[in-house]
């Protein structure tokens, strides 16, 4: 399938009035019938539908307290500040080559365990 066809399908399925049909198809298990081609999407339409995107990480990097580039420790606690924790993708020291969603969820789960253990150990 050509890139323009994928973009058309993405724009089509992201329109609110079309989402109900997409959900219904997904729930019924019926295959989605789609054939590429036949739709002209210009370069201008493509450029108007896209925007630069990044996965900001590393702004509160995890590391040792003696590392000047780190902000939080392995328990997600901010160095030098009591009762302040960071539990999102910003603790990743560097960006990974894959999507950051699942690793961020994992980090949040781990942070919840570690913060809970630290706060409720008394």
Residue numbers annotated as active site:
55
pLDDT at site 98: 79
- Domain of 27? 3-49
Pair 22, 68 in one domain: no
How many domains, in total, are found in the chain? 2
Q: What share of the chain is helix, strand, coil (3-state, %, to 5)?
A: 45, 5, 50
Domain shared by 23 and 78, yes or no: no
Q: Are residues 63 and 121 in the same domain?
A: yes
Confidence at residue 85, expressed as pLDDT on a 0 to 100 scale: 94
Indicate whether 14 and 45 sit together in one domain.
Answer: yes
pLDDT digits (tens), the chain, 122 positions: 455 565 566 665 555 555 555 555 445 555 555 555 556 677 887 777 776 667 778 889 999 999 998 999 999 999 999 989 999 999 998 887 778 889 999 999 999 999 998 888 76
Task: Report yes or no: 92 and 107 within 8 Å, Cβ to Cβ.
Answer: yes
CB 88 within 8 A of CB 107: yes
Same domain, 42 and 96: no
Is 76 within 8 Å of 115 (Cβ atoms)?
yes
């Amino acid at each position: 399938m050509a890139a323009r066809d994928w973009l058309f399908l993405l724009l089509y399925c992201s329109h609110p009035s079309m989402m109900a049909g997409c959900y219904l198809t997904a729930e019924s298990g019926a295959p989605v019938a789609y054939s590429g081609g036949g739709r002209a999407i210009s370069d201008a339409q493509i450029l108007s539908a896209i925007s630069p995107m990044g996965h900001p990480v590393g702004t509160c990097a995890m590391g040792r307290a003696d590392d000047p580039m780190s902000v939080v420790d392995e328990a997600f606690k901010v160095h030098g500040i009591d009762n302040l924790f960071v539990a999102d993708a910003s603790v990743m020291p560097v960006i990974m080559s894959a999507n950051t969603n699942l690793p961020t969820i994992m980090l949040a789960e781990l942070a919840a365990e570690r913060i809970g253990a630290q706060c409720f150990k008394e």
